[in-house]
Amino acid sequence: MKQGHFPFSTLKILYFWARFPALLFPQKNKMTDLVYLNLHEKAHGPHGLIAGTTGSGKSETIQSYILSLAVNFHPHDVAFLLIDYKGGGMANFFKNLPHLLGTITNLDGAQSMRALASINAEIHRRERLFREFEVNHINQYQKKFKNGEATEPLPHLFLISDEFAELKVNQPDFIKELVSIARVGRSLGVHLILATQKPSGVVDDQIWSNSRFKLALKVADRTDSMEMLKTPDAAEITQTGRAYLQVGNNEVYELFQSAWSGADYQPDKDELGIEDHTIYLINDLGQYEVLNQDLSGLDLAEDIKEVPTELEAIVSQIQL
């Protein structure tokens, strides 16, 4: 049986946004054996570490996680602040996402202090709203917002740095303050995800103790794996996108394959109104061989100037 691409134009974004009142508690679907990363503080969160060497699929895994949150949760429920120290990286993929509050790309000189001032201002805003509505947790405030008692949305805020090792070396005070902000902001709905290619030597005690989940893709050596998981397992991974998810003291320890959203989006011909005239010969083992070449749809080739990735196609469907 041929497997086509899901027509993203049929995504029921508003349905998904209305389905979940808050971040889900962890669950494992026994039918599909899916593994969920849920950063609610009563589940896998609120903060965590991600590690993966070059070619491991680390950035793609983060992108797929951001995308899955954006599909399932309204911008009033989930928002992102992306820290792209090198610039021109992951943040560009999500520039049109309504959930994106902003990006931090230049932290040289006074820029780092201005960035911290902006983040601290958001923390103080949340504290003010909590006092005003006499709540002490993000869940309580969001309930009041959905009931119409509060008028200002306050989404879970995900602070995500795709390569914090270089940031820690060049801007150590920024990372230190960022971790401190995350510690204070856990009940305020602030989540910190720090990712790096090489965790050895950059994951200090403060970062480790504040990271409830660790997600390790293929790492360079046993030392890096031990730094993340306290086991050598991640050094033995051979497949791109394969990773271990560890929560707490091995409360969860799962090997899984991450989704990938970077493939070219090729919608089924049905979606384009094209009939497929390919003929297949199927043997007793269920294997098929193409007997002819399907040339239908070639007249539309001139209209297809550039093929978007699946990530780009989905982001284009996520609009307020």
Residue 112 predicted with pLDDT over 80: yes
Q: Among 230, 222, 255, which residue's Cα sits nearest to residue 241?
A: 255
163 is catalytic: yes
Q: Is residue 93 assigned to a domain?
A: yes
Q: Is residue 233 assigned to a domain?
A: yes
Q: Is residue 62 assigned to a domain?
A: yes
Q: Which stretch of 24-33, 152-161, 219-228 has the lowest confidence by average pLDDT?
A: 24-33
Share of the chain above pLDDT 90, in %: 46
CATH number of the domain encompassing residue 139 = 3.40.50.300
- Residue 1 pLDDT: 32
Annotated catalytic residue: which of 60, 122, 163, 310?
163
Residue 162 predicted with pLDDT over 70: yes
Looking at residues 97-112, what average pLDDT do you find? 85
Residue 2 predicted with pLDDT over 50: no
Q: Among 65, 86, 46, 58, which residue's Cα sits nearest to residue 198?
A: 58
Looking at residues 77-104, what average pLDDT do you find? 87
Q: Please give the helix or strand (H or E) that residue 58 lies within, else none.
A: helix 58-72
Q: Is residue 18 assigned to a domain?
A: no
pLDDT band at 63 (very low <50, low <70, confident <90, very high): very high
pLDDT band at 168 (very low <50, low <70, confident <90, very high): confident
pLDDT band at 150 (very low <50, low <70, confident <90, very high): very high
pLDDT band at 29 (very low <50, low <70, confident <90, very high): very low
- Residue 145 pLDDT: 95
- pLDDT, tens only, 275-310: 556 676 676 655 567 666 555 555 555 555 577 888
Distance (Å, rounded) from C-alpha 278 to C-alpha 264?
21
Say whether 2 sits in a helix, a strand or coil.
coil
Beta carbons within 8 Å of 134's beta carbon, 6+ residues apart: none
Residue numbers in the known binding site for ATP are 52-59
Residue 4 predicted with pLDDT over 60: no
Distance (Å, rounded) from C-alpha 177 to C-alpha 26?
29
- Residue 193 pLDDT: 95
- Residue 67 pLDDT: 92
Q: Which stretch of 23-32, 38-47, 202-211, 272-281 has the lowest confidence by average pLDDT?
A: 23-32
- Residue 277 pLDDT: 64
Residue 240 predicted with pLDDT over 90: yes
Q: Is residue 279 assigned to a domain?
A: no
Distances (CA, A) of 311 to 18, 89, 201, 215, 253: 22, 14, 33, 21, 28
Residue numbers in the known binding site are 52-59
Distance (Å, rounded) from C-alpha 9 to C-alpha 307?
15
Paired with 104 in beta bridges are 83
Q: DSSP per residue over 108-136, as a string? A: STHHHHHHHHHHHHHHHHHHHHHHHTT-S
User: Which comes out higher in pLDDT, residue 50 or 310?
Assistant: 50
E strands in the chain = 28-29, 34-35, 48-51, 78-83, 100-104, 156-161, 190-196, 213-216, 242-247, 252-257, 280-282, 288-290
Number of domains in the chain: 1
pLDDT band at 31 (very low <50, low <70, confident <90, very high): very low
Full residue range of the structural domain in which residue 96 is found: 23-261
Q: Is residue 7 assigned to a domain?
A: no
Q: Please, are residues 219 and 50 in contact by the beta-carbon 8 Å criterion?
A: no
Average pLDDT over the chain, rounded to an integer: 83
Residue with token string 């992951």:
90
Q: Residue 286's CB: how many other CB atoms inside 10 A?
A: 7
Residue 182 predicted with pLDDT over 60: yes
Q: Is residue 277 assigned to a domain?
A: no
Paired with 195 in beta bridges are 50
User: Which comes out higher in pLDDT, residue 57 or 290?
Assistant: 57
- Residue 260 pLDDT: 86
Share of the chain above pLDDT 70, in %: 77
Residue 42 predicted with pLDDT over 90: no
